[in-house]
A = this chain, B = another copy of it.
Amino acid sequence: MATKPPAENMARSTKQRTAILELLEHDDAFRSAQDLHAILREAGSKIGLTTVYRTLQAFAEADIVDVMRLPGGDHLYRLCSAEEHHHHLVCRSCGRTVEVAGPTVERWANKVAADHGFTEVGHTLELHGLCAECSQSFKAQ
């Protein structure tokens, strides 16, 4: 897949934004702003941490990336293919991520909410485990 233009609703296309996007495209795991910043600096970029944060935020608002929260509270970002609502199944060893549609959960959530008189219901759901490969390694060991 070729690098997309940074975003429709962001006024300008800059080196920094392009660099961040490219990085995300070659990565199928969630990364933190700090991670991405470190990688970019490592690669010789002079990009600022503030910019990385701002850019990722903008991407998130534009639905270009998905955000997830670590137990510690940090934000992780990942380029997402699916357009519609979906959830993530994340390997807690290698970070590999699978996108999962969850019509079952949506229905369940709506029903439960209705049962209790709640309206305007949203939900957050995350699955985490060990992917096939990492399961192997652990077993081998």
Interfacial residues, chain A to chain B (CB-CB below 8 A): 69, 71, 73-74, 89, 91, 98, 100, 102, 104-105, 108-109, 112-113, 116-132, 135
Contact assessment for B118 and A130 in the assembled complex, using a CB-CB cutoff below 8 Å:
yes
- Contact partner of A135 (CB less than 8 A), chosen from B120, B122, B129, B135, is B120
- Contact partner of A109 (CB less than 8 A), chosen from B127, B131, B132, is B127
Max count, chain B CB within 10 A of own CB: residue among A91, A118, A123, A125: A118
Contact assessment for B89 and A113 in the assembled complex, using a CB-CB cutoff below 8 Å:
yes
Contact assessment for A91 and B118 in the assembled complex, using a CB-CB cutoff below 8 Å:
yes
- Contact partner of A118 (CB less than 8 A), chosen from B122, B125, B132, is B132
- Contact partner of A125 (CB less than 8 A), chosen from B71, B123, B132, is B123
Docked Cα-Cα span, A68 to B114, in Å, equals 22
For A109, list chain B residues within 8 Å (CB).
127
Contact assessment for B129 and A113 in the assembled complex, using a CB-CB cutoff below 8 Å:
yes
